[in-house]
Every structure is written in structure tokens, then in C-alpha cells.
Amino acid sequence: MFQILNENGEVVNKDDLPDLSDDELKELMKRMVYTRILDQRSIALNRQGRLGFYAPTAGQEASQLGSQFALEQDDFILPGYRDVPQLIWQGLPLYQAFLFSKGHFHGNQYPDEVRALSPQIIIGAQYVQTAGVALGLKKRGKKNVAITYTGDGGTSQGDFYEGINNAGAYKAPAIFVVQNNRFAISVPVEKQTNAKTLAQKAVAAGIEGIQVDGMDVLAVYAATKFARDRAVAGEGPTLIETLTYRFGPHTMSGDDPTRYRTEDMDKEWEKKDPLVRFRKYLEGKKLWSEEDENKVIEEAKEDIKQAIKQAEQQPKQKVTDLIDNMFEELPTHLQEQKEIYQAKESK
Amino acid sequence: MAQMTMIQAITDAMRVELKNDENVLVFGEDVGQNGGVFRATEGLQDEFGEDRVFDTPLAESGIGGLAIGLALEGFRPVPEIQFFGFVYEVMDSISGQMARLRYRSGGHYHAPITVRAPFGGGVHTPELHADSLEGLIAQQPGVKVVIPSTPYEAKGLLISAIRDNDPVVFLEHMKLYRSFRGEVPEDAYTVEIGKADVKREGSDVTLLAYGAMVHSSLKAAEELEKDGISAEVIDLRTVSPVDYETILASVKKTNRVVFVQEAQRQAGIAGQVISEIQERAILHLEAPILRVTAPDTVYAFSDAEEVWLPDHKDIVERVNEVIHF
């Protein structure tokens, strides 16, 4: 397993320590704290019925944000349903992320500078699509990558394999991230496969595979940067397995992790909390204080308050809006149906 | 004007569009140097290069994903599924993904993808090559389904499909690939998607058909004429969305309808079209609308195709039932 920081925030691998400025290191910490607060608030807002579908992210900050931090603005992200934080840090306005959760199409109308698809619900589909985006980037001669994420369970899908294999066959600039949080809802990773690592699945595609400590933001960043550099140099795709953990339930839709996880297991992983070790690392370098952290927490809470307000002010969706989004030019039957709903909506 | 078979017309349409738009990409299993298992892409890689016309690994779902990803990068993908029976492997990419891309992104992205695939019986193919599965895709909002029956229409419709900025599934009946030649203009031209064509005018009964069944219907119409029955034959050409304007105009004239499809009775699109006609024109009907279809079994073992596939005799029989209702 590739690691740079241990649980105590000590550098155990100086050779691979990424070249990040003090400001960049602080920015990484800020993002992780912010995202932890976002997770806590999203869970609360979900319980209050002010958000809809929500897949908790606490525990995965290093895996999600360390990898996103290695990207350029013009790289293309194909996220899974748990990968909303990467989109936010790539520039998706928070209120739109909330609209995605609530089930409103405007949540998916991304600004042009956010080159990403909305979170993919069909596990594996983002992998075959990533091979296509990456091939497109290669054909256009762009120095960019397509990056995608799935979980440990997702590695059992056919599309997972087809995606990495296609990208390999075309030597396409793709980064495939497997966030192994040990559980696919209630099914432990041991029931997905007899393979000892998920990173070794790269061998089947003949591509590079790296297993990284997914609770170590510097290791995740360094691995993704390595994969990105290889990809834009024309050396093809990389599969990165991040060993991580979700502290919360699978989703807020009724999953109860106490049915399949022990308290001991949770405690053991909480010791590996990516925020704890990176905080220690930065404090050791005198780059982070309680004051810094509290400032981020307040900023996050305020942003979230404004964003949920903005999301709630979004005009309600009408059937005619949904019809208009179907085709460039509406076929006759949809024109007819639009007229029927226009009449209803004008009553 | 040149005399072309349908497969030549299809190749020609791709050639015209590869030349016309540098974003057009043609890919699939064996479509490159081999020129396709039916020679549909013959010569295209030599002419346009491997960057534009290329082979893929043997994985239909992966091909669908490639098409979507390439579309997101601004390309106009024309992927091929070797036989439409293999669509089950790529149902998610077609129905679950590309058909929904414009809608799910609120119009921010779209999928100008044309999925080409051969299908259709009568040529003794092995299992899961000939199945008529257009009904599956026709039920999915967001994707159009086009099925040409002549060389002229195949070229014009395929050019329209490729230029369409939303996904189109373009189904090519294997029996029609080389069974006859027709006049095909050499330059680019389009045939509008979503428009049916009256292939033969008549006054006593309307025959609605698509694919190979258009030709069976025309043959039936000739036989019926000998008995003094005048059949109007409408080729739907697009099975989603269906051109009800043309259909209803005919129904209001003939007052009798027989729907002809090669698919099984519980499949295809007959049920949907008949339902629309009865909602919109029941007072114009002198008889119930009857169907000519294959039986509701799995597609026939190849040696049984002759007794299983619907033919012009079945059509004549059904027309006589509605005429003498």
C-alpha cells in the first residue's frame, strides 16, 4: 500500500512527498474540513426533509479531495453517486449540488467550466463512459484526463472491466479510482471477490494499478498526480484503489450500518481519520491552528445556509420543462403532450 | 444516380458524412480493416484513416460507453452493434444513458449518436442474430428508432440520423441488404426522421408495415388487387416517433387497418400504434384493427423460419378478415 503520512501525521515516505506549497497544503486541509461539515449538515438537512437523496462522505475526504486536487480545470470528471464533493471543488455551485439531492434538473445544468457529468447512479456506467471521454481527449490532442470513481462493489460489474480494458486498448488518458470503503451497502469486500487487492484488477486490462492509503490525502494526491502525468504523456490509464472507510451509512435512504458493521471496526477506522492525521502533519509544520479550523467551519456553515436557501428558491419544475429537455426538436407526440400540460399549468 | 443495394447505400451515407463532418466517427467490432461483417463499412478506414474508422474490443456495453464519452467530447459517433440481438449487453448505454443525457443534464449535454445494427429474419442466421427488438428501444423516451426498407431511404435516413443531435437507433434488415437494387443519388440528401411514406396508394384497407414487412405488404397488395381489394401500404420508416398524421389520413380514407410486423405479437410496436389509432379515429373504423405478427415464441430455429416468419399470405388472410368483418 502506497502511503506518505501515517496515522500520527508523520511522513513515512519522503521520496514520494508531493511538491505542494504551504498555501496548497492549507487549501487541502480547508477543503477536507469544509467537506466534513458539508457531510454533517447534509445529513441533518436530509433528516429535516430539506434534502433528498444523500450518500454520506465522511471518512472519504482524503480519497475524494486528494484525487480532485491533482486535476486541472479542463479535466473531465465522471462521478459516482457518492462523489459530489469532487464536483463542488471543481466548481459546481453548492446550491446546484443540493438541487441534485432534491431531484431538480437545474442541479445538473453545470456551468461550462465544470467539465463533469452529474453523479452516475448506474454503478459501472461511468467507467465505460470514461474510456470514451478519454479517447475523445486523446483524439482532440488535449493535455487533459478523464477521471472516474466507483466503489469496491462496483469492481464486480462488467462495465468496470470493460471501461478499464477499453481505455487500456486505446492507451487513453483515463484515471480510474476505486474507493474501497470495505462495504457495498451491507456486503463486505471479501464477498465481492477473492482477489487480495482491487488494484490488481488492473492486470486484467494490462494497465498500471496502484493501491493507496485512502485515508492519507498526500498519498492519494501523489498517486493521482502520477497517474495524470502518465496519462497526458500518452502512457495510458491507471487504476487507483484507495483504501478508505465511510463513517456513515451507505445512503440516507434507510440503511443501518449497525446491522453489518461492528463498533470496534468503526473505532479502528476512526483512528485513521484523514482529517486527524493531516491536521497533525500541518500543526507540526505550524501551518494549521484551531482558529484556522474554526474559521473554515463557520465559512462552511454559512455557505451551506445560503446554498440551501438558494436551492429552495429555485422555481418548481413543470412537466413542460421536462418535455423541453428531451430533444433538440420536439417530435409531434411531445408537442401534443406539451400543449396538454401547458393548458394544465396555466390554470 | 447510381443503382445500389441497401448495404451500398448505407456505406455511401457513412462515406458522405465522414467527408462532410470531421466529428463523425465510425467504430465497432470488425468495422475497420475488415470493412464490417456485412461490408457496410468497406473501404471507409482506407479512405478516412484509423482515427475516424476503427475497431473496438469485443464488448457491446463498452462500445456504448465509448460512444457516450466521445459525444461528450464533441464527436458525432456512429457505433455499430454487430447484430441487434446483442443489444441486451448495451441496453444500459442506449436506454439508461444516451437516451437520457440531454434530459438529465437539463440540456447541458446531448448525445448525437447513431447506433447502427443489423437484424431481421429469412437468412438462416444462428441464434440471437435475427430477433426484432425494436419494440424495446421504441419504449424508451429520448431515443429515435429508424428502420429503412429501400436503398434510397436507407441513405437519406442514415444521413438524417447522423446529423440528428439526439440518439438514433438505426436498424438494418439483413434480408434487405442485398435483395434488390434501387436508384440512389450520389450526393448527400436527407429523408426526414419521423415521417412515414405511402408506398402504394389504395382505398379499401391500410397496411401499416416497416422493415422487410413493407415488401411482403406490397406483394400482398398485388395479390389483393386481383380480388378487387385496393390496399394502401404505408412504410412507417421511423418506429419511434411514429408519424400518426400520415397513418390517420389513410385510416380516415380506407376505414380498415392491418398492422404488419415481423416481431412477435407481444413485441414490436403494433400494440402501441393500434392503441393510438383507436383513441384518435375509432369513429372512422369499419372493422377492428388486426395484426400480422410472428407467434409469441422465442425467435425460430433457423430451419423453422419459413413456417414461423409472417409472409404475404398471412397478410392477405388478415386483410380478408377485416374486409369481410
Q: How many CB atoms lie within 10 A of CB B68?
A: 30
pLDDT of B95 strictly over 90: yes
Nearest-CB residue to B62 (from A108, A163, A327): A163
Sign of CA dihedral A117, A121, A126, A128: negative
> B73 and A139 in contact by Cβ < 8 A?
yes
Asked if the bond preceding B126 is cis, omega within 30° of 0, the reply is no
Question: Minimal Cα–Cα distance from B105 to chain A, Å?
Answer: 5
Q: Which residues of B touch A93 (CB under 8 A)?
A: none
Residue B137 one-letter amino acid:
I
- Dihedral sign, Cα of residue B10, residue B15, residue B20, residue B22: positive
Number of inter-chain CB pairs under 8 A, A vs B? 135
Residue of A nearest to B240 (CA): A331
Looking at the complex, does the CB of residue A332 fall below 8 Å from at least one CB of chain B? yes
A130 phi and psi, to 5 degrees? -65, -40
CA distance B144 to chain A (A): 10
Interface touch A76/B72, C-beta < 8 Å: yes
Among B residues 161-200, those touching chain A with beta carbons less than 8 Å apart: 164-166, 194
Task: Tell whether A77 is within 8 A of chain B (Cβ).
Answer: no
A108 in contact with chain B, both atoms CB, cutoff 8 A: yes
DSSP three-state, residue B147: coil
Close Cβ partners of A169 (under 8 Å, ≥ 6 residues apart): B56, B57
Catalytically active residues of A, by annotation: 246, 250, 260
Burial (Cβ within 10 Å: 0-12, 13-18, ≥19) of residue B72 = buried
| Whole-complex ipTM | 0.97
Q: Which helix or strand (DSSP H or E) is residue B67 part of? A: helix B60-72
Average the pLDDT over B80-96 and give the result.
98
Q: Does B139 touch chain A (CB under 8 A)?
A: no
B97–A125: do the CB atoms touch at under 8 Å?
A: yes
Residue B1 has pLDDT above 90, yes or no: no
**B247 chain-A contacts, CB cut-off 8 A:** none
Task: Kindly report the nearest CA distance between residue A210 and chain B, in angstroms.
Answer: 23
Identify whether the C-beta of residue B153 lies closer than 8 Å to the C-beta of residue B191.
yes
For chain A, 347 residues long, the average pLDDT of each consecutive 10-residue run is 97 97 98 98 96 96 98 98 98 98 98 98 98 98 98 98 98 98 95 98 98 98 98 98 95 91 93 97 97 98 98 98 98 97 96
Around Cβ B325, how many Cβ atoms within 10 Å? Answer: 11
Q: How far is A187 from chain B (nearest CA, A)?
A: 24
Mean pLDDT of the residues in chain B: 98
Among the partner-chain residues B71, B75, B106, the one whose CB lies closest to the CB of A105 is: B106
Q: Is the pLDDT of residue B78 over 90?
A: yes
A169/B65 Cβ within 8 A: no
* Contact A336/B at CB under 8 A: no
In Å, how far is A129's CA from the nearest CA of chain B? 4
Q: Catalytic: which of B108, B110, B129, B312?
A: B129
Question: Cα-flanking dihedrals φ and ψ of residue B207, to 5°?
Answer: -105, 120
Interchain CB contact of A128 with B (< 8 Å) = yes
How many whole angstroms separate alpha carbon B71 and alpha carbon A320? Answer: 26
All residues of chain B having their beta carbon less than 8 Å from the beta carbon of residue A146 are: 69
Any B CB within 8 A of A292 CB: no
- For residue A2, give the DSSP letter: B
Query: Which region holds residue B53: left if phi is over 0, alpha if psi is between -120 and 50, else beta?
Result: beta
Closest CB from A109, A133, A327 relative to B72 = A133
Cα A58 to chain centroid, rounded: 12
Active-site annotation holds for B215 = no
Running DSSP on this structure, what letter comes out for residue B79? E
d(CA B238, CA B223) in angstroms, rounded, equals 26
Mutation pick from A129, A166, A318 vs chain B, by most beta carbons of B within 10 Å, is A129
Q: How far apart are CA A296 and CA A26, in angstroms?
A: 11
How far is residue B89's CA from residue B292's CA, in Å, rounded to a whole number?
29
CB contact (8 A) between residue B103 and residue A130? no
Contacts of A328 in chain B (CB under 8 A): 102, 110, 164-166
Q: Compute CA B281 distance to the chain's CA centroid, rounded to the nearest angstrom.
A: 26
- Using a 10 angstrom Cβ sphere, with 0-12 exposed, 13-18 middle and 19 or more buried, the burial of residue A259 is exposed
Q: What confidence score (pLDDT) does residue A233 get?
A: 98
Q: Out of B73, B92, B142, whose CB is closest to A140?
A: B73
Whether A50 contacts chain B with CB within 8 A: no
Inform me whether the C-beta atom of residue A116 falls under 8 Å from chain B C-beta atoms. no
Cβ partners under 8 Å of residue B307, min gap 6: B300
Helix (H) or strand (E) holding B293, with range, is strand B290-294
Taking contacts as CB-CB distances below 8 angstroms, the residues of chain A near B243 are 332
Which among A108, A134, A334 has CB closest to B105? A108
Site from B48, B51, B68 to mutate, A interface, most A CB atoms within 10 angstroms: B68
